A and B are shown apart, each in its own frame.
Chain A
Amino acid sequence: EIVMTQSPATLSVSPGERATLSCRASQSVSSNLAWFQQIPGQAPRLLIHGASTRATGIPARFSGSGSGTEFTLTISSLQSEDFAVYYCQQYNNWPQTFGQGTKLEIK
């Protein structure tokens, strides 16, 4: 099973600033990496698939990069609605596995 490790566990950023979230896979997942946003009490929402392709309707301030074992989600200018928990997930191998999440909180 591929282990996904996210860092940091919690990230404190001020509105309008940039946030950078990291995700590492225990072995290569090529570009088969997705990012999800989860607001408390809501279902996860797909942000990024293929490591860097924004899902339908996702604002351009969200961008993903990386391949192999190292991935990054960048939110260029944080809006109030962006403070949430973010998960990375690999779908290169079965079982599909998620990282433990990064909580993005207001500084």
Chain B
Amino acid sequence: EVQLVESGGGLVQPGGSLRLSCAASGFTFSSYSMSWVRQAPGKGLEWVSYISSSSSAIYYADSVKGRFTISRDNAKNSLYLQVNSLRAEDTAVYYCARDSWIQVNYYYYYYMDVWGKGTTVTVSS
């Protein structure tokens, strides 16, 4: 069974840091790109970051650029999100998601086909 399990969330003060993890199983992790998506309480979904299978391509939402760092360890089937300089508006459930892809001509397009259950980050003093 394909599974993603997030961990590492918690209550942190403004300006603090956390390292979120996502453990993957049931598929060849090293063959897939991965993403993080968050959802603030009562709000919609916001894409946060993307990392390619070999870590050669990384993208961030403007709202987190310079504060968050995505990484992965293919030997450990794990995805990470280092979140620094946290603000109240970063309070959310953070989901990791597997990216499947289609190829059109020379371009690849990635969509999120499997999601974890999420880990909650609360930023408050």
The residues of A with any CB-CB pair to B shorter than 8 Å are: 30, 32, 34, 36, 38, 42-46, 49-50, 55, 87, 89, 91-92, 94-101
Contacts and interface: CB of A to CB of B under 8 A. Distances in A.
Interface in B100-125: 100, 102, 104, 109-118
Contacts of A95: 47, 59, 61-62
SS class, residues of chain A in contact with chain B: loop
Nearest to A29: B109
B102 A94 contact: no
Which interface class (under 10, 10 to 19, 20 to 34, 35 or more) fits B? 20 to 34
Interface of B: 35, 37, 44-47, 50, 59, 61-62, 95, 100, 102, 104, 109-118
B45 A89 contact: yes
A34 B102 contact: no
Contacts of A98: 44-47
A36 B97 CA distance: 13
B45 A87 contact: yes
